[in-house]
Amino acid sequence: MTADVLDGTATEIGHDLEPVTAPAASTSLFRTDDPVEIIEQAGRVANALKGVLTQQGLTKNISGRAHVLVEGWTTLGSMLGVFAVKEWVREVPWPDPVPDGLAQQHQRGLSFGYEASFRAQRADGAVIGGAEAECKRTEGSWKGRDDYALKSMAQTRATSKALRVPLGFIVTLAGYEATPEPEMPTQTSPATEPGPPIGADTATLVIAAIGDALTENRVAPDALPAMFATVGAHPAAINAQAVNNLTEDQGQQLLTALGALTV
């Protein structure tokens, strides 16, 4: 028995065909490289952004110019699929010698400041910007704040600054200053050394006054942080340690404020 053999010919194909490649994707935020289309789309985004910033109050007037808060920058980023991603946050070591007016903070073991780095990244992973920023106690308004507040501000500044790199022109088109509000210097008086620490007697009176005010429902627990803030204190929690960290003058001011509370 023999196998059947089929006669035929084989033809090789494909040698003369040109390779087909997909068109390169645009690296623009608006998925187009046409400058006219980019400006048109950016204008529409700017108009939408302006409405949100106005309705939600996400700008601050500084020296007659409107600067966008960090929440406004992150809102714009979300509109275009751009997000601020933290790379690192680290403590800034105390310089030697310690700057004038900061001896007490250094002795209390507080940090000198913090610095942070963020990158602006698209949803597809492409990095399109980045920035570093810091917050230190040599800034008058941050001299006596808690460490967590300085750490948070360093991250806030780095976030808005990183987003400004790719998105600043849209903020300008919307009619606002491109410099983010957190980057603007605060107008404060020269830093001065805080007064003497609270005395044991005053601390005891403050703790008792807080307890009485809470028991008699003359103050709500969530209102206490604001009372501390009015005397220049910003504790992470309202407790005995927060009272002991006050100056004598701050303690006396709190006693006056607590005594003035009525049901």
pLDDT digits (tens, 9 = 90+) for 206-260: 899 888 888 888 888 878 887 887 777 777 788 888 889 888 888 888 888 888 7
Strands 113-122 and 65-68: unpaired
Phi, psi of 209 (to 5 degrees): -65, -40
Q: Range with the lowest mean pLDDT among 133-142, 166-175, 229-238?
A: 229-238
Output the CA angle 235-103-100, nearest 5 degrees: 115
Work out the burial of residue 133: count CB atoms within 10 Å of its CB; fewer than 13 is exposed, 13-18 middle, 19 or more buried.
buried
Give the predicted TM-score (pTM) of the model.
Answer: 0.61
Architecture in CATH of 35-183: 2-Layer Sandwich (3.30)
Split at pLDDT 50, 70, 90, the class of 261 is confident
Residue 212's H or E segment, with its range, is helix 200-215
Contact in structure between 158 and 116 (CB atoms under 8 Å): yes
pLDDT tens readout for residues 104-114: 999 999 999 99
Strand, helix or coil for residue 84:
strand
Domain map (residue ranges) of the chain: 35-183, 200-259
Q: And the tokens for 14?
A: 């494909």
